[in-house]
Amino acid sequence: MKKLVLGAVAAAMLASSSWAAEFTLKFSHVVSDNTPKGQAARYFETRLEELSKGRIDVQVYPSSQLYNDDTVLKALKLDTVQIGAPSFSKFGKIIPQLALFDLPFLFRDVDHLHKVQDGIVGEKLKALVEKKGFIALDYWDAGFKHFSSSKKAIINPEDAQGQKFRIMSSKVLEEQIKAVGGNPQVMAFSEVYSGLQQGVIDAAENPISNIYTKKFHEVQSHLTLSDHGYLGYLVVMSPKFWKKLPQDLKDNVLQAMKEATAKERQWSQELDVEQLNLIKEYAKTTGKLEIHTLTEAQKDAWRKKVEVIYPMFYDKDVVGEDLIKETINTK
């Protein structure tokens, strides 16, 4: 009898806990749980459920279980999912100003980047996103990009001359490579490893996480730690869902997101160091990879060579002169 009573109490508690949630928030993303983005999504889940005292039930769907980055924006508009974290490139056709983050050597370091994202430029970009019908929550890091090549070490701008570079589909990246005499080749990310291995392309630009997890360092003879560009994600929410929330729960969402963003950025930098050390160990043990680090003088030479493309994107319907100059002047 005692077991039956306890069982009934447990069932009642379980039922009441499920009824307690007033809102269900589905968070869809494309990477695994063990990545910085995946970890941050789980952290957001825990914190928002704590802050809302269970009034919001957060359900995280990693690894494209619900949607990929090409379909999640439409799903957000329809409110079939409530939060996504697509890469900036997925907004290209509707918010071209996010191509700001593609401009080469625009950010002096990670601190400068985050001051831009957390300051007036970041707010202006969020406002543009919201005009297109999304609630822009925050910017998450994928990391700074570096050059790699099988043809020749890319240390000075002239080293890029004639090399075939894989790039994402981006007018900024196309002009970046052309500015240093390279040959830009748009190629799907899934084809990059075989393209490098077979010599279809000579060079690429990627953050350390891409280089390590996709083993690009094993099919390239030179890696240059250039920090010349940036890849990131914009965490966005369904406008229909946002409008349903009372102000106190909106405040909970913003607080949980603020904390998750700080964690994601920290984990991203830690993973960068960890994976770079593994690449360095590979280079040391195999002798098949040379790693080069650009000096400040070399970075200045690159900056002077590529900043000539900035005015091409001064039009406010492309990126905008004000956004570019405000980024440069952010202290």
pLDDT tens digits, one per residue of 279-296: 999 999 999 999 999 999
Q: Would you state the pLDDT for residue 17?
A: 44
Q: Would you state the pLDDT for residue 203?
A: 98
Q: Is the dihedral of CA 195, 35, 24, 65 positive or negative?
A: positive
How far apart are alpha carbons 231 and 216 in whole angstroms? 17
Q: Would you state the pLDDT for residue 8?
A: 46
Give me the residues paired with residue 83 across strands: 27, 237
Q: What is the CATH number of domain 2-329?
A: 3.40.190.170
pLDDT above 70 as % of the chain: 94
| 8-state DSSP, 152 | S
How far apart are alpha carbons 67 and 70 in whole angstroms? 8
Mean pLDDT across the stretch 259-263?
98
pTM, entire model: 0.91
pLDDT surpassing 90 at residue 79: yes
By the 8 A CB rule, do 28 and 66 touch?
A: yes
Mean pLDDT across the stretch 56-66?
96
Helix or strand or coil: residue 64? coil
**Under 8 Å CB-to-CB from 32, ≥6 apart: which residues?**
38, 62, 63
Q: Would you state the pLDDT for residue 19?
A: 55
pLDDT surpassing 60 at residue 14: no
Q: Would you state the pLDDT for residue 3?
A: 44
What average pLDDT does the chain have? Answer: 93
Q: Would you state the pLDDT for residue 77?
A: 95
pLDDT surpassing 80 at residue 126: yes
